[in-house]
Amino acid sequence: MSSTTAYATGSQPATRPLTLRLGTRRSALATTQSSWVADRLRALGHTVDLVTIVTEGDTSTASLSTLGGTGVFAAALRRALLAGEVDFAVHSLKDLPTAPEPGLTIAAVPVREDPRDVLVASEGRTLGELGEGAVVGTGSPRRVAQLAALGMGLSFKDIRGNVDTRIAMVHGGALDAVVLARAGLARLGRLDEVTESIDPLQMLPAPGQGALAVECREDDDATRSALAVLDHADTRACVTAERAVLARLEAGCSAPIGALAEVVEGEDGLELSLRAFVGAIDGSVDLRRSVVGPVDEAATLGHRLAEVLLEDGADVLRGPEERPPADTGGPDPTGDRPSGPGQPPDPPGANGATPLAAPDRRPENDSTERAT
């Protein structure tokens, strides 16, 4: 290291501008998010160099559930952090496992983007305009479960790929629509391609969706001090509550999970409103519960809501590995997809052997919501 370059590797709080190495995935969204954080640190006088790190999630075409789901994008970044190859990393918070990583700490959770999911559909259609039998692409069992519960007769295709790849599947006619996180499109400046922002009453986002996690080594006080100024207290409280729901439910059920917390004005001042969803992958059960409590008790609130969901049946719901395929008219001789009438060929990046089944009835009788 040259005498003119001061990397943050010591254990003392920063007393002067630092030169920091930021580990980032190579995708356009990851580098955009990392650059957003880097620019804010540069505005404070620090020098930030981006270091590209390739993760298994970037190179594999397997479904996320096969790769291990949450954490597949973070593992390589965390290894680089622990090895001292970079000083900090920027993650999409929903990609991080809920269990803490020994030796690392989330030094900042910056202000959150809009956490909603959005639809990008052909011909500018909304959900209500897609029509029965329309094929929607998503790699998220959470999205499949909630869309299936709407009883619209949709089918679903398990897809992978970056934003360009997924939207191209719609423009190319292979899919009728894809569902994406609004935050990613906002950060990429592509909100003009959204045909509908989906109301959380219809689809709750993934816990932590729309938020970033800025992570560094626990013993690197200089970097922790530099990053801490980016922390947004309300956002951290919200995602803490959401991830507390997820952490408790992961121990008690394998079904798709959604959660959204908001800081709202209550009778006695600000409070935290938390909603969560657990459902069956075929849409036959749509279990929703909500709680309200003090902002400074976010984790406790999340655990309490998870316990309510478990008591009300979340522990017996089916996980994504049990989702049934749609009956589309007979097997394809290639084995890749059924050859029913009107079925387009699989788009590049699709993993599922068949479209997933939509429920054969509207599941109102099994859809319940209760505030606690």
Could you say which of 58, 87, 95, 332 is catalytic? Answer: 95
Q: What is the dihedral of CA 222, 228, 229, 234, to 10 degrees?
A: 180
User: 337 vs 158, 328, 331, 341, 353, CA distance in Å?
Assistant: 12, 9, 7, 12, 6
Active site (annotated) includes residue 95: yes
Structure tokens at 116: 């909603």
Q: Report the catalytic residues.
A: 95
